[in-house]
Structure 1
Amino acid sequence: MSKKLHILFLCGWFPSRVLPTNGDFIERHAKAVSHKHKVTILHIISDENCNQKIEIVSEKKDELNIHIAYIKKTKNPLKKILLYRKAFLSLLKHIGDFDVVHLNKLYPFGIFTLYLKKTRKKQFIISEHFTGYHLPLSKNISFLEKFISKKIAKSAAFICPVSNNLKDAMQQLGFKGNYARIPNVVDTNLFVPSESKNSVFTISHISNMVNPHKNIEGLLQVIKNLEAKLVNFKVEIIGENSSKYITFATKIGINLNNVTFIDQIPHKEIANRLQNSDLFILFSNYENLPCVILESFSCGVPVISTDVGGINEYFPDDFGKLIQRNNQEELLESILNFEKSFKTKTLNKQKMHNYVINNFSESKIALEFEKLYFKSLK
């Protein structure tokens, strides 16, 4: 496997000027692979501020060659399809030849991979993170999308969901293929344990702040109930537009001296926030494999999370606590149990960090993908 390949990351999600953090976990996968192979990113997205029909922006970021086509927004679905097709063909001219396609999000960009397989004989693998394949969300998937997705999945050399739970959901939808679980990646040089100790019990929550998904209001209700049990604690709620929950927090009577709402921060700053936490909480209604749980482990910080999606596949018993979905009483009790021991119990932070190195580091994940790239070429 010494040959250096050129991998085309074909991305339905990817950070852009329209959505700066969308699919940043895909960018981290690409970055991991780029340490061993040449990686080119292809992404297309509609932009209401685009003055041209198609605007192509290319840049070199670290070791990634990134090509994004911004499409003038249109309400005409046929016109949109034609613009996306034209943009895709234009981007291919910028990229040149490549060895393997790494598709990120099966539909709809998988249609492009079918084209590349038919016209250029290019094999492809699929990475999948989409929570929408789980019930009840999967009921919203149209017949046409399912039909096309089945063809894309069947044509792939490998399908790489981030968890077995996601694999099961995809197979229940009829997406047959060669499955190989490959999880999210963690920068284990950035997310490292800190030996500093807090004088005040500090809880953090980091997410996209979408309430039906992350159950922010449920978490805030638990924090309100926590105030009756604890006198001295801090909570940081971090994510895009987190300040929109200040109104709800005030409405239910939370003491805002205990809770800080912090809007979206750069990924590098997340490490610092986790290192300065005693406990990380994710109270989601559904998930696949949240990067931030693995990043918390890498910092040696225990986690309380709902037992949803594929989280329990990567959650050692002594790294935290898994609780029932939307069980506010269980979450409150678990927080209080962690608080009782936070000054006396010494966590084996290095053990937690080593677990992440062995399973989710850039070198580990790059090697897993590399094996599949070479297998697909055979």
Structure 2
Amino acid sequence: MRVLHMASWHPNRVHSQLGNFVRRHIECLPDEVESTVLHAWPESRRSLRRREVEDMTAGAIRTLTALVPDRTPRRWRMERAYTRLCEQLQREEGIPDLIHLHVASEAALPAVHWSERWGVPLVVSENWTAYHSEHGRAFRGKDERAVRRALQAAQLHLPVSDHLGRAMRKFAPDAKQQVVPNVVGAAFTPPAHPRTHEGPLRLLHVSSLVDDHKNISGMLRALASAVAQGADVRMEVYGGAGEGGEAAAGYRQLAVDLGLADVVKFHGPAAPETVVEAMQTADAFVLFSRYENLPCVLLEAWSTGLPALATNVGGVGEHLGRHAELGVLLESEDEKGLTAAIGQWSDRKKRGEGPDEIAIAAYAAKRFTEQAVGSAIVAAYRSVLC
């Protein structure tokens, strides 16, 4: 089975973490799938006068990345880059069996065009928060037209959550859908030894640290209230690149102002192995977001046996709240609720009560491992090829 992945978002030399969840979906596919990835991205460096194509092969996956001069008309340049990549692919590899569009942005209209030209099925995976206008996210006009065209042309949608799938149906009410969650890497496993019941409650937060999205300021205020009410707790915070990194100094000052100087430690961006170790030594993961789809970091925490205190946004409530062992489901902006949950979990640890790490990790392994997600995607491919 030969699959062409047209990825609007994908790691590249300009943004190394862009769409890393897309790459993980592609990498989890079994050997029976021959994957080629096409990706285009604008680059602003002045020395880039014309389109440059990087051709790299890692394992069995070939990736062609077109870097395009970042000047107007930007979208036209990006779409033309995808067209030229498809022409190159046809010359070198022939026509694929299926096109898998990842994120219906700049690659959307080219994916529709080549699906129709080659007469092959189109499948769309989505993880874009712009579908959720109720949380202040919205498409620009050109983006919305491309999204509508791609979703209506596709034989199958693969949203990462049912919540996102409902938002996608607004553009294509009759489309077939199959929820395929984000995938968790093999390194995220439970610790070799059970977590200790000694010492303060150890909380962990990992994110971009963008306040409008992750509500870091609200999380810190809730934590301060819990400490003031007697909770024995420490929190480790990782992340913060770009906008979130620029805000980190403000968070540190807020922590000092709230009396949390000895409670919260900000570490900055971390390598995956550092995040794994932090999850394996924490008692609970905190995600106080205002909006999400199905955040990878939450699935990674569960895969290590770590329960979560998280808000009911996006697809989070499709797991947390329905399965008690996974943690506590909170409403967005509910600082009092987070304060109470932190206090209750601090008391539980004082009593020597810990999470059911085995049950949490087993839940995650059944749904979010490379094998589980890869099998689900292949089943989706077969359903449109038969």
Which residue number corresponds to residue 260 of structure 2? 255
Q: Shift in Å at residue 314 of structure 1?
A: 1.8
Superposed, 1:23-34 pairs within 5 Å as 23-34=19-30
CA offsets, 1:102-142, max 9 Å, x none? 11112331111111112211212111111111123577324
Distance in 1 of aligned mates of 2:212 and 2:11: 23
Q: Shift in Å at residue 226 of structure 1?
A: 3.0
Distance in 2 of aligned mates of 1:62 and 1:210: 34
Which residue number corresponds to residue 177 of structure 1? 175
Q: Shift in Å at residue 90 of structure 1?
A: 3.5
Distance in 2 of aligned mates of 1:328 and 1:12: 36
Which residue number corresponds to residue 51 of structure 1? 48
Superposed, 1:265-304 pairs within 5 Å as 265-304=270-309
Which residue number corresponds to residue 208 of structure 1? 208
Which residue number corresponds to residue 377 of structure 2? 369
Distance 1:175 1:362, change over 3 A: same
Identity over the aligned pairs, expressed in percent? 22
CA offsets, 1:133-160, max 9 Å, x none? 1123577324554343222112111001
Distance in 2 of aligned mates of 1:229 and 1:137: 32
Q: Does 1:8 align with 2:4?
A: yes
Aligned residues of 2:100 and 2:123 also touching (Cα < 8 A)? yes
Which residue number corresponds to residue 246 of structure 1? 249
Which residue number corresponds to residue 345 of structure 2? 338
Q: Does 1:73 align with 2:70?
A: yes
Q: Shift in Å at residue 10 of structure 1?
A: 1.0
Amino acid of the residue matched to residue 369 of structure 1? I
The normalised TM-score by structure 1 is 0.91
Which residue number corresponds to residue 220 of structure 1? 220
Aligned residues of 1:193 and 1:298 also touching (Cα < 8 A)? no
Distance in 2 of aligned mates of 1:113 and 1:175: 20
Structure 1: gaps (5+ residues): none
Aligned residues of 1:114 and 1:155 also touching (Cα < 8 A)? yes
Distance 1:187 1:298, change over 3 A: same
User: What secondary structure, in the 3-state scheme, does the structure 2 residue paired with 1:122 have?
Assistant: coil
Distance in 1 of aligned mates of 2:164 and 2:283: 30
Superposed, 1:309-348 pairs within 5 Å as 309-315=314-320, 316-343=323-350, 344-348=352-356
Aligned residues of 1:224 and 1:254 also touching (Cα < 8 A)? yes
Distance in 2 of aligned mates of 1:367 and 1:16: 26
Q: Shift in Å at residue 173 of structure 1?
A: 4.1
Which residue number corresponds to residue 118 of structure 1? 116
Q: Shift in Å at residue 83 of structure 1?
A: 5.3
Q: Does 1:85 align with 2:93?
A: no
Q: Does 1:356 align with 2:364?
A: yes
Distance 1:184 1:134, change over 3 A: same
Distance 1:239 1:139, change over 3 A: closer
Which residue number corresponds to residue 100 of structure 1? 98
| Pairing partner for 1:42 from 33, 38, 41 | 38
Structure 2: gaps (5+ residues): none
Q: Shift in Å at residue 84 of structure 1?
A: 3.9
Amino acid of the residue matched to residue 338 of structure 1? W
Q: Shift in Å at residue 299 of structure 1?
A: 0.7
CA offsets, 1:240-286, max 9 Å, x none? 23553332442433432321112222233321111111110000011
Which residue number corresponds to residue 132 of structure 1? 130
Amino acid of the residue matched to residue 85 of structure 1? R
Distance 1:16 1:327, change over 3 A: same
Distance 1:35 1:137, change over 3 A: farther
Aligned CA RMSD, in angstroms, stands at 2.2
Aligned residues of 2:68 and 2:77 also touching (Cα < 8 A)? no
Q: Shift in Å at residue 183 of structure 1?
A: 1.0
Q: Shift in Å at residue 161 of structure 1?
A: 0.7
- How many residue pairs get aligned? The number is 372
Q: Does 1:307 align with 2:312?
A: yes
CA offsets, 1:2-38, max 9 Å, x none? xxx2222211111112111111111111111154422
Distance in 1 of aligned mates of 2:109 and 2:175: 16
Distance in 2 of aligned mates of 1:268 and 1:100: 35
